[in-house]
Chain A
Amino acid sequence: MTTPQLLAPNVSAQHWADPSHPDDRPFIRKYVFSTDHKTIGNQFMFMSLFFLMIGGALAMMIRWQLGWPGLPMPGGGVLPETMAPGGILLPEFYNSLVTMHGTFMIFFAIMPLLVGMFGNWLIPLHVGASDMAFPRLNMMSFWTAVPAGFIMLASFAVEGGAAGAGWTAYPPLSAVPEYSGVSTGQQLWCVSLVILGFSSLMGAVNYITTIVNMRAPGMTWLRLPLPVWALFITAILILLAMPILAGALIMLLFDQTIGTTFFLPETGGQPLMWQHLFWYFGHPEVYILILPAMGIASEVIANGSRKPVFGYPAMVGAIIAIAFLGWIVWGHHMFQSGMNPLLGSSFMLSTMIIAVPSAIKVFNWLGTIWRGDIHLHTPMLNALAFVAMFVIGGLSGVFMASTPVDIYIHDTYFIVAHIHYVLFGGSLFAIFAGLYFWFPKFYGRMLNPTLGKIHFALTFVFYNLVFFPMHNLGLGGMMRRIYDPNQYGFLEPLQPMNTFISVFALALGASQLVFFFNILWSLWRGEKAPENPWSSNSLEWDLPSPPPHGNFEAMPAVYRGPYEYSYPGRGEDFWPQSEPPNGRRARVETSGAPVAEGVPQ
């Protein structure tokens, strides 16, 4: 008998769940320094939600200042004199607020939620592995992200306050303490992000190796669930983009501390070089923040529509195309920084081409929903919101990509509106969708659907009331990081709109409490989750909720793609990937030999 050629050659290196062997790991190895990808995913969830709250609180303060400039903030009295004497926010502190809001949300909330949490939760289960390729590296990845976050948070407490040069940290403002009034805070900002870069790098190496090497037999590339495809491409982007940021941050840190002169023009440095390096990382970063969201939305929309994803290969191709194009568009962040107009035009063209694969994805989502048996469960509602908001954010992106229009709207609230439409309306709604969808699998409890729908409705309405008018603020000329717009006469008429936005921003912030309450309440009191609450197809739904340490009892076998919903002539409207064609469940023993006949090669 010939040994079957397995797609995942690393079979025998895996540590399958052994039901006869109880999980006897001590507490600290089970919950704190755990190497189990599911626990690390849970840890990333709690860490990122904590920083999401911090970032949200900072946003509330920003909106207070813009809605009621110069008025003492309720509860602002608890802040020290250096931030808000008498509750009135200082301009210097306001600079720190916008900087740290962006930094926390991008690097410590959205990125670890999408990549850290969903990456860890989904990749090994979706490919049919017992764990990541490098479980200890995975643990280190989490435990370097935590200190990075707390260094960032601690920078509020140092003399001079937290970084205040914007999340893009353009020098010379960021490099010379006299310019921004911040010295140690700006250095801690660099150090924290370098450490976080290591964390992301370890994650990316792990994800790529796991997806390439540890797929179960039959799990061909074109049978991978779309979140795994998205996370795979995202991991490649992280792998190649984070080191560029690390290099730039280190040069900036050297300029700040030991007195080198990379970015300081008086001694020969080039401030514009920072922008090139930063955005060479920064634009792929934009796709790091949206591609996993797209994958999650695809999964949830197919499930909620009870239909296969329309054009699966095109969806994969579009992810790859977006990721590739993402590397040649960074100049569109710098149209107004002094650039040869001819070069600007080439960046404009490459940016607009991204609309093509993005539109492929949007039309394929619509094609998936079209004439489906639509179930409007909470994950589906959030996924639909993701598609709608992503379309608005994508279309405003085309405005900014156009160099003549960008002359007018660059660095205004139009940009703020755009980034929030793709990052909140896009990524965060997809995160909500994914959380409502997979929370039961990893905690064994359903999230409360009523609270979930209330949270969705409030968030969707308030969100649009907050961010849509910002387009108008931007067209009215309001600058992006301005402390008090009323210092300019032509912005005074916009004050009522700013107050309107702030009222609903506070309401939006408050309605997130429903979400946090739902999570905390459901962890202990939620309805017990069955194996497969959403009648979904991918491998994790074969397992108990939560899956045991080691996931599968033995190597699973995969017979079809993950989106075989409503297959004609089949009784059930879903068809698990692991169900053999003859209807009998089969497993492959750990020796690597298929038990049942007909295991696909």
Chain B
Amino acid sequence: MSQAAAIHAQAPRPMEGMKVYNVKLGMWVFLLSEVMFFSGLIGAYIILRFAHPEHWAAPGEVLAVPLTAFNTFMLICSSVTMVKAFAAIEHGDQAGLKKWLLATIVLGAAFVGIQVVEYTKLIEHGFVPIASLYAAEGGPLYGSTFYTMTGFHGVHVSIGVLCLSFTAFQAFRGRYTEEYYGGVEIIGLYWHFVDLVWIILFTIVYLI
């Protein structure tokens, strides 16, 4: 193997002496962009809610707060398991990495599953995003904003579960070591971001 090819093969590794390696910096930069995306949606929500408070029902009247609180708890737990997975591979613990990655995937998938169940019940109740079919308490803005914000978060969780599954697949192939764990670290960053966004969304959409 030529020297250049050998160097190329090592490319994704976190390099010695590097403060923040490329992929990690790239992920942070990408997350900044995500912050702006959710800020736009949340900003729109705030504007609409202040303009038309009569479109919103009292907290807990339409939305199932206890169920979602449990869901929130699961997502926070999944952040903990993610940290556990990262801590495991930092110490070269392959079994721990696999175990905790799978736990994160299960919790994340369960979150999406519960959200789908919740959506189904809400739609039966007449709480829909379509203004002309809206039949629940409050007004159509409530439905439009709820589904857009929680829906986009749900898409982010689903993408996260897919990426985690790929990470787990790589983990089972023994791709990560105590020197080479960038893939686990950056999916962890993304996962914590998605978790953090949910805590904000849960507060302003469900609790306030």
Contact = CB atoms under 8 A, between A and B. Distances in A.
B26 A133 contact: yes
B159 to A, nearest CB: 13
A32 B37 CA distance: 32
A72 interface: no
Interface in B84-131: 129-131
Interface stretch (B138-146, B164-172, B173-181): B138-146
Contacts of A264: 131
A12 B10 contact: yes
Interface size class of B (residues with CB under 8 A): 35 or more
Chain A contact residues: helix, strand, loop or mixed: helix
Contact of A269 (B23, B29, B48, B147): B48
Chain B contact residues: helix, strand, loop or mixed: helix
Contact of A209 (B15, B26, B32, B152): B26
Contact of A244 (B10, B13, B37): B37
Interface string A203-224: 0111011001110000000000
A584 to B, nearest CB: 24
Contact of B15 (A13, A137, A277): A13
B129 A260 contact: yes
Interface stretch (B39-47, B57-65, B66-74, B191-199): B39-47
Contacts of A11: 15
A554 to B, nearest CB: 10
Interface string A238-271: 0111111011101100100011111010011110
A80 to B, nearest CB: 34
B129 A254 contact: yes
Nearest to A9: B18
Contact of B29 (A6, A205, A246): A205
A596 interface: no
Interface string B1-30: 011100110111101011111110110011
Nearest to B23: A134
Given A13-B11, A240-B32, A243-B36, A267 B131 contact: yes
B144 A244 contact: no
A14 B37 contact: no
Contact of A251 (B17, B26, B32, B148): B148
A260 B7 contact: no
Contacts of B10: 12-13
A244 B40 contact: yes
Interface stretch (A15-23, A516-524, A535-543): A15-23
Interface size class of A (residues with CB under 8 A): 35 or more
B58 to A, nearest CB: 18
A509 to B, nearest CB: 37
Given A13-B15, A213-B22, A277-B44, A260 B34 contact: no
Given A137-B26, A239-B32, 16 more contacts: A3-B17, A201-B33, A208-B25, A209-B26, A213-B20, A213-B22, A246-B37, A247-B37, A247-B41, A251-B41, A260-B144, A260-B147, A262-B145, A269-B141, A273-B48, A276-B47
Query: Top 6 closest A-B pairs, CB basis?
Result: A247-B40, A243-B37, A260-B144, A9-B18, A261-B131, A259-B130
Interface of B: 2-4, 7-8, 10-13, 15, 17-23, 25-26, 29-30, 32-34, 36-37, 39-41, 43-44, 47-48, 51-52, 55, 129-133, 139-141, 143-145, 147-148, 152
Interface of A: 3, 5-6, 9-16, 18, 21, 133-134, 137, 201, 204-206, 208-209, 212-214, 239-244, 246-248, 250-251, 254, 258-262, 264, 267-270, 273, 276-277, 280, 550, 590
16 contacts: A9-B18, A13-B7, A13-B12, A14-B7, A18-B3, A133-B25, A206-B26, A208-B25, A209-B22, A242-B33, A243-B40, A248-B44, A260-B140, A264-B131, A277-B40, A590-B7
